[in-house]
Chains A and B, each alone.
Chain A
């Protein structure tokens, strides 16, 4: 466990935003299923895997802007 955390600190885990391509830092202690927000495009993302680190778009509530 300690070794794993040490590794996390040394090599910051990054995942690519599937919407805008930004490389997002996954904070220490991130777990699969956690929701994070892309700092560039603001999309809410769900952590899909940690090895390799991947994220996918989280389901969003549709807003009606066209009435």
Chain B
């Protein structure tokens, strides 16, 4: 079987590095080119040292890109939309890992990103990238826009509840605790080790851009409100979303189990983690490092209608590169687990 020829645009960042790692070991893929303007001419493994002896590819400039079957775009936000015509001419299929084509509404994009979208007429050409929600659309998609990491954990955690109209639409509070790799590989004063180490830094208490994606995917035609906060903590990979919702009716935990089982029982990368004994009773991001799993747990407050949903992922995997590869597998009709079977490490 002929391999799918792919190239990665913007391959020197953490997401790009993870994607290269996954694609190099995918049995149906050949990585043709990887671009980086900052590191043109250098070996890919110079920037991603975990790939030593896995590839001899060198970074090229995006201006030198040759046509291929599919392009993965790992560019900074607000880059893809300004070059999209060129990319479309180079490849019939595109998976964009930036935020440029996640939102369907031009006005929502402007509201949350603070500037006009360069190509609003293309927003509806892209399928939103969470496979568990848009699997059928992905099978015939030409263009996919991978979801934000915080949004992915939040949406997957809450999707069964909103889909079944079980929660008060006005009162959803999500608190995400996130690792430093979410901030990318560009240094700043705040990422300097003496400043970053040991922090519990409330970096976006309100108005995080991922809120827009969460609203888009959970509204089901209704007006809903989601109150989202993000806190940086002292881990490199992973994030934990703690979501507080208020149930419209008094469901018992057994009924909530049933709802989650119905939604995710057959999903290869979603696990319901809610155990009555042991150390890891609820989702723990540490155990998910390098995996494509999203672990979801919940606990109903016995004294109120509050339900706490806890969702964990590796932000670079299920929140970025892993999710994109799962979508790629669906696009080409491969088993969607291909290249994503790593079960994680314990202890770590």
Question: Which A residues between 8 and 54 are near B, CB-CB below 8 angstroms?
Answer: 18-22, 40-44
Task: Indicate if B253 sits at the interface (CB-CB under 8 A).
Answer: yes
Determine if A42 and B257 form an interchain contact, defined as CB atoms under 8 angstroms apart.
no
Determine if B278 and A41 form an interchain contact, defined as CB atoms under 8 angstroms apart.
no
Chain A residues with Cβ under 8 A from B255's Cβ? Answer: 21
Chain B residues with Cβ under 8 A from A60's Cβ? Answer: 276-277
Chain A residues with Cβ under 8 A from B276's Cβ? Answer: 19, 41-44, 60
A9–B274 alpha-carbon span in the complex (Å)? 31
Task: Indicate if B272 sits at the interface (CB-CB under 8 A).
Answer: yes
Determine if B277 and A19 form an interchain contact, defined as CB atoms under 8 angstroms apart.
no
Chain B residues with Cβ under 8 A from A41's Cβ? Answer: 257, 274-276
Task: Indicate if B134 sits at the interface (CB-CB under 8 A).
Answer: no
Question: Residues 192-203 of chain B: 1 if any A CB is under 8 Å from the residue's CB, otherwise 0?
Answer: 000000000000
A43–B277 alpha-carbon span in the complex (Å)? 7
A19–B253 alpha-carbon span in the complex (Å)? 8
Chain B residues with Cβ under 8 A from A21's Cβ? Answer: 254-255, 257-258, 261
Given contact pairs A40-B257, A41-B257, A20 touches B277 in the complex (Cβ within 8 A): no
Question: Which B residues between 139 and 156 are near A, CB-CB below 8 angstroms?
Answer: none
Question: Which B residues between 232 and 286 are near A, CB-CB below 8 angstroms?
Answer: 253-255, 257-258, 261, 272, 274-278
Determine if B254 and A19 form an interchain contact, defined as CB atoms under 8 angstroms apart.
yes
A2–B131 alpha-carbon span in the complex (Å)? 49
Most chain A CB atoms below 10 A, which of B258, B274, B277, B278: B277
A18–B254 alpha-carbon span in the complex (Å)? 8
Q: How far is the CB of B72 from chain A (nearest CB, A)?
A: 36
A20–B252 alpha-carbon span in the complex (Å)? 10
A43–B278 alpha-carbon span in the complex (Å)? 10
Determine if A20 and B253 form an interchain contact, defined as CB atoms under 8 angstroms apart.
yes
A43–B276 alpha-carbon span in the complex (Å)? 6
Most chain B CB atoms below 10 A, which of A19, A20, A40, A42: A20
Closest to B275 in A: A42
A20-B254, A40-B257 are known; give 18 further A-B pairs, CB within 8 A.
Answer: A18-B254, A19-B253, A19-B254, A19-B276, A20-B253, A20-B257, A20-B274, A21-B254, A21-B255, A21-B261, A22-B261, A41-B275, A42-B275, A42-B276, A42-B278, A43-B275, A44-B276, A60-B276
**Chain B interface residues (CB < 8 Å from chain A):** 253-255, 257-258, 261, 272, 274-278
Question: Can you name 7 A-B residue pairings with CB atoms under 8 Å?
Answer: A19-B253, A21-B255, A21-B258, A21-B261, A40-B261, A40-B272, A43-B277
